């Protein structure tokens, strides 16, 4: 069954790879329309998932992520229409040159082929991912979690109907109806048919994938991020940025988990920011020096500096200077989004140069690492790996390239 899905996807991918932009956009708009048309059915299937979830004692946060309503379904459809408006990345000539022997070599942007996405709980991912992969000319195999299976199947049905209407093969967007672990592992071995795997889920899923996958993976992994308040920081700006990066939405990967402060600013800044954060409900875990300055701070452990809390907790460390801060971030961070607050030109330059992360900021909140905030539009996630796609995984990152070579009889000597 998994094998059949994969074979059909591979077969369909050759045709989708050179489908016209108009036809892909038409399909996207028809999917959006059909999701709205099927709203009643989708919501009734979603209610089954919610009922099951409550019986299985899912947390309120998970139930909330699972829940679809009229406005969320409209947002799904809007997202698809927005993807239709984005420029088509496929076919772009990204470069080219002529060789002395007369060969003309161009680099053309092409789809990756077949992409499998394994995800948990949020049913809107089904529509978002289908939209991004279709627009970028890739066939997709979707495997959602069991908590959302009824919702996912209802959305997939609406997608399939719309593909039929648009005369696009329904093999371009397929969903795996099995939700067990065995079918995940089977999928992970289909490197003959699947070109790329994108997991969206927790550490458990990632572990299974690292252990079993023979398919190249792009992971949207953890963001254990820092704001570093430099010796030469504007402290009002440092306050504003720290509060935003920590509290504006603490449960996402581009929020910060750590605050580093140069010791020459510590006496003034640490009690001040700790007080504000404390009042906002943030738990402070500090180094020894921090604890001396902040009576309500808990002692931070080594593990705290390694942890992505995704919660109203912050680890604070007072550093001896710029170098110690840079070394700390490169050692403990997850290379996602890192920020310095400074008015010093050389420190700003050196931070941008020496910090090893997908996005490095001077005097701005880390919360901007996001496809929409960067102006790229919708994305599948934020990658902090260094190969292929670093940062937001949008349409462009779902492409590959090929060399196209025009000759007139050249042979190699």
If the CB atoms of residues 54 and 386 are measured against its own copies, the closer one turns out to be: 386
Q: What's the sign of the alpha-carbon dihedral 64, 337, 296, 265?
A: negative
Among 360, 378, 380, 393, binds its own copies (CB under 8 A): 360
Among 240, 280, 288, 296, binds its own copies (CB under 8 A): 240
**DSSP per residue, 111-155:** E--EEEEEE-S-THHHHHHHHHHHHTT-EEEEE--GGGHHHHHHH
- Rg of the Cα atoms in the chain: 24
Q: How far is the CB of 327 from its own copies (least distance, A)?
A: 8
Which range binds its own copies by CB under 8 A, 73-81, 95-103, 141-149, 301-309? 95-103
Q: How far apart are CA 202 and CA 207, in angstroms?
A: 9
HSE on the CB side for 89, CA within 13 Å? 22
Query: Using the rule CB under 8 A, is 82 a contact of its own copies?
Result: no
Both tokens of 286, joined, read 């500090």
Print the SS3 string covering 56-75: CCCCHHHHHHHCCCHHHHHH
Give the residue among 364, 289, 361 at the shortest CA–CA distance from 329: 361
If the CB atoms of residues 57 and 413 are measured against its own copies, the closer one turns out to be: 413
If the CB atoms of residues 63 and 396 are measured against its own copies, the closer one turns out to be: 396
CB burial of residue 237 (10 Å; 0-12, 13-18, 19+): middle
Q: How far is the CB of 399 from its own copies (least distance, A)?
A: 9
Q: What's the sign of the alpha-carbon dihedral 357, 362, 366, 370?
A: negative
Directed axis angle between helix 322-332 and helix 345-354, to 10°? Answer: 20
HSE on the CB side for 239, CA within 13 Å? 15
Q: What's the sign of the alpha-carbon dihedral 126, 128, 134, 136?
A: negative
- Contact (CB, 8 A) for 361 and 351: no
Q: How far is the CB of 364 from its own copies (least distance, A)?
A: 3
Among 21, 179, 267, 385, binds its own copies (CB under 8 A): 385
Which range binds its own copies by CB under 8 A, 168-176, 222-230, 307-315, 354-362? 354-362
If the CB atoms of residues 184 and 342 are measured against its own copies, the closer one turns out to be: 342
If the CB atoms of residues 166 and 382 are measured against its own copies, the closer one turns out to be: 382
Total interface residues for its own copies by CB under 8 A:
68
Query: Using the rule CB under 8 A, is 269 a contact of its own copies?
Result: no
Query: Using the rule CB under 8 A, is 281 a contact of its own copies?
Result: no
If the CB atoms of residues 180 and 214 are measured against its own copies, the closer one turns out to be: 214
Give the residue among 319, 312, 307, 362 at the shortest CA–CA distance from 337: 362
Query: Using the rule CB under 8 A, is 354 a contact of its own copies?
Result: yes
- Contact (CB, 8 A) for 332 and 276: no
Query: Using the rule CB under 8 A, is 149 a contact of its own copies?
Result: no
Query: Using the rule CB under 8 A, is 227 a contact of its own copies?
Result: no
Q: How far is the CB of 311 from its own copies (least distance, A)?
A: 18
Q: How far is the CB of 101 from its own copies (least distance, A)?
A: 8
Phi and psi at 256, nearest 5°, equal -95, 160
Query: Using the rule CB under 8 A, is 18 a contact of its own copies?
Result: yes
Query: Using the rule CB under 8 A, is 404 a contact of its own copies?
Result: yes
Among 84, 218, 253, 297, binds its own copies (CB under 8 A): 218
**Residues in 243-262 at the binding interface with its own copies, rule: CB under 8 A:** 243-245, 248
DSSP 8-state assignment for residue 412: -
Among 228, 391, 393, 394, binds its own copies (CB under 8 A): 391
Query: Using the rule CB under 8 A, is 390 a contact of its own copies?
Result: yes
Among 4, 22, 97, 281, binds its own copies (CB under 8 A): 97
Q: How far apart are CA 49 and CA 26, in angstroms?
A: 31
Query: Using the rule CB under 8 A, is 105 a contact of its own copies?
Result: yes
- Contact (CB, 8 A) for 45 and 154: yes
Query: Using the rule CB under 8 A, is 368 a contact of its own copies?
Result: yes
Query: Using the rule CB under 8 A, is 352 a contact of its own copies?
Result: yes
Residues that bind its own copies (CB under 8 A): 14, 17-18, 97, 99, 103, 105, 108, 110, 112-113, 191, 195-196, 210, 214, 216-218, 234, 237, 240-241, 243-245, 248, 327, 330, 348, 352-354, 356-365, 367-369, 373-375, 385-388, 390-391, 400-412
């Amino acid at each position: 069954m998994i094998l059949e899905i994969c074979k059909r996807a591979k077969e369909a991918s050759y045709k989708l790879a050179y489908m016209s932009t108009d036809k892909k956009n038409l399909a996207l708009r028809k999917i959006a329309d059909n999701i709205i048309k099927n709203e009643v059915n989708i919501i009734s299937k979603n209610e089954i998932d919610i009922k099951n979830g409550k019986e299985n004692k899912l947390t309120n946060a998970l139930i909330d992520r699972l829940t679809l309503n009229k406005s969320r379904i409209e947002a799904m459809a809007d997202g698809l229409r927005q993807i239709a408006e984005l420029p088509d990345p496929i076919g772009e000539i990204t470069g080219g040159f002529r060789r002395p022997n007369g060969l003309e070599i161009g680099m053309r942007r092409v789809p990756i082929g077949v992409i499998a996405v394994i995800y948990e709980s949020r049913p809107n991912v089904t529509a978002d991912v289908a939209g991004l992969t279709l627009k970028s000319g890739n066939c997709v195999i979707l495997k959602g979690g069991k908590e959302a299976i009824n919702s996912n199947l209802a959305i997939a049905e609406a997608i399939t109907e719309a593909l039929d209407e648009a005369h696009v093969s329904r093999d371009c967007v397929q969903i795996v109806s099995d939700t067990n672990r065995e079918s995940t592992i089977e999928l992970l071995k289909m490197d003959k048919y699947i070109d790329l795997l994108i997991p969206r889920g927790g550490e458990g899923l990632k572990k299974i994938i690292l252990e079993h996958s023979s398919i190249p993976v792009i992971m949207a992994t953890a963001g254990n991020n820092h704001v570093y308040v430099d010796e030469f920081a504007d402290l009002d700006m440092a306050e504003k940025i720290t509060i935003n990066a920590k509290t504006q939405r603490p449960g996402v990967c581009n929020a910060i988990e750590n605050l580093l402060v140069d010791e020459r600013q510590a006496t003034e800044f640490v009690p001040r920011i700790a007080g504000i954060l404390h009042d906002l409900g943030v738990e402070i875990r500090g180094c020894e020096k921090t604890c001396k300055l902040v009576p309500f701070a808990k002692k931070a452990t080594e593990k705290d500096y390694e942890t992505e809390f995704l919660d109203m907790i912050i680890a604070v460390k007072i550093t001896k200077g710029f170098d110690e801060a840079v070394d700390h971030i490169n050692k403990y961070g997850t290379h996602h989004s890192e920020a310095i607050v400074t008015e010093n030109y050389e420190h700003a330059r050196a931070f941008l140069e020496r910090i090893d992360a997908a996005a490095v900021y001077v005097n701005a909140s880390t919360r901007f690492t996001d496809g929409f905030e960067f102006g790229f539009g919708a994305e599948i996630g934020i990658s902090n790996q260094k190969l292929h796609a670093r940062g937001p995984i949008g349409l462009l990152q779902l492409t590959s390239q090929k060399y196209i070579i025009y000759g007139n009889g050249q042979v190699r000597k």
